[in-house]
């Protein structure tokens, strides 16, 4: 057990940190009771890696026949993406829009902690990772926004030390990413490994790869009417963050939908980390990722 700056006590479970006994209990319940289906699509991320964006894109892709991305009735126009694709391990109120087959399910759990039924099933897993410096900065802002309401801010230096030691919910970063990275090399048909940074640089081809991987490739006809651009536009940071639902809505008490949208860019760490901090994080990353082939 370690004291967490944000959530009180953190517990180490299967090599990763989770908050509060109650929450740990929820994870164990999922591990024991969740029944995966071969058709399930899992979206896995560390917090602040682009989960919201990935959820929007996969929801729009999978449901494109039912919901035209240009429709003024599209569920993404009136729901935060987290209301459309639920977390395995957190209760978020359902709101009637159901993407039943295939089921879209998200989680922050590390590979080692996924329910056995997920590991044994033929379900697809999309893992989205983000360079650790931006992931840290995004997490720092998120934590501070939530924490300020409760108990005052937290300094960047304190948060940075915790990040480097891997002591925060779902940390350490490197172990989390490596678990899925290695699995994606072993069973590429089951695990697709994406990086937020690369997705920002070439979103169109990432969307096409995503569609191929989850078994709903973009057809020639869809290409001819620019479906890819339509989905990217629908799910873009500028579009989603300016919707009324995401400016004023609440996901849960104390969590505003707007909290999920800050800058949505690559390299914001340059505005927050000192050169020494950046160097330290780079060195840890190099050492932890070693010769795995995973680089940032």
Query: What residues act catalytically?
Result: 108
Q: In angstroms, rounded to a whole number, what is the distance separating the alpha carbons of residues 145 and 147?
A: 6
Rounded to the nearest 10 degrees, how much is the dihedral formed by the CA atoms of 169, 200, 243, 87? -30
Q: Report the DSSP beta bridge partners of residue 8.
A: 4
Q: In the bound complex, what is the minimum distance in angstroms from residue 134's beta carbon to ligand A3P?
A: 6
Q: Is 27 helix (H, G, I), strand (E, B) or coil?
A: helix
Which residues neighbour 246 within 8 Å (Cβ) at sequence distance 6 or greater? Answer: 80, 240, 257, 258, 260, 261
Interface segment toward ligand A3P; rule CB under 6 A; list 23-31, 181-189, 255-263, 283-291? 255-263
Among residues 49, 99, 107, 113, the one that binds ligand A3P under rule CB under 6 A: 49
52 binds ligand A3P, rule: CB under 6 A:
yes
**Residues 124-143: x/- map of binding to ligand A3P (CB under 6 A)?**
----------x---x--x--
Interface segment toward ligand A3P; rule CB under 6 A; list 18-26, 31-39, 146-154, 233-241? 233-241
Q: In the bound complex, what is the minimum distance in angstroms from residue 242's beta carbon to ligand A3P?
A: 11
Please say which residue, 45 or 99, places its beta carbon nearer to ligand A3P. 45
- The beta strands (E) that lie in 54-151 are given as 86-87, 104-107, 124-129
Report long-range pairs for 18-21 (Cβ below 8 Å, ≥24 apart).
18/169, 18/170, 19/169
Binding interface with ligand A3P (CB under 6 A): 45, 47-53, 134, 138, 141, 235-237, 240, 260-264, 268
């Amino acid at each position: 057990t370690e004291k967490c700056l944000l959530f009180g006590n953190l517990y180490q479970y299967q090599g990763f940190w989770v908050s509060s006994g109650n929450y740990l209990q929820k994870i164990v319940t999922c591990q024991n009771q969740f029944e995966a289906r071969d058709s399930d699509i899992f979206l896995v991320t560390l917090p602040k890696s682009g989960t919201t964006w990935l959820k929007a894109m996969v929801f729009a892709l999978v449901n494109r026949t039912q919901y035209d991305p240009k429709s003024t009735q599209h569920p993404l126009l009136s729901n935060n993406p987290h209301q459309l694709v639920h977390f395995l391990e957190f209760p978020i109120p359902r709101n009637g829009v159901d993407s039943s087959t295939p089921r879209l399910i998200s989680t922050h759990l590390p590979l080692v902690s996924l329910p056995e039924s997920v590991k044994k099933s033929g379900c697809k897993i999309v893992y989205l990772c983000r360079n650790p410096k931006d992931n840290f900065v995004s997490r720092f802002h998120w934590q501070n926004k939530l924490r300020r309401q409760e108990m005052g801010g937290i300094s960047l230096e304190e948060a940075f030390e915790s990040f480097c030691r891997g002591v925060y919910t779902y940390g350490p970063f490197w172990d989390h990413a490596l678990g899925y990275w290695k699995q994606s090399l072993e069973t590429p048909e089951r695990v697709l490994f994406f990086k937020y940074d690369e997705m920002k640089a070439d979103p169109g081809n990432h969307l096409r790869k995503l569609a191929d991987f989850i078994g709903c490739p973009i057809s020639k006809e869809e290409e001819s009417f620019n479906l890819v651009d339509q989905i990217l536009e629908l799910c873009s940071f500028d579009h989603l963050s300016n919707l009324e639902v995401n400016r004023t809505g609440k996901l849960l008490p104390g969590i505003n939908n707007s909290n999920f949208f800050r800058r949505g860019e690559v390299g914001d760490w340059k505005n927050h980390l000192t050169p020494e901090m950046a160097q330290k994080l780079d060195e840890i990353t190099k050492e932890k990722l070693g010769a795995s082939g995973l680089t940032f």
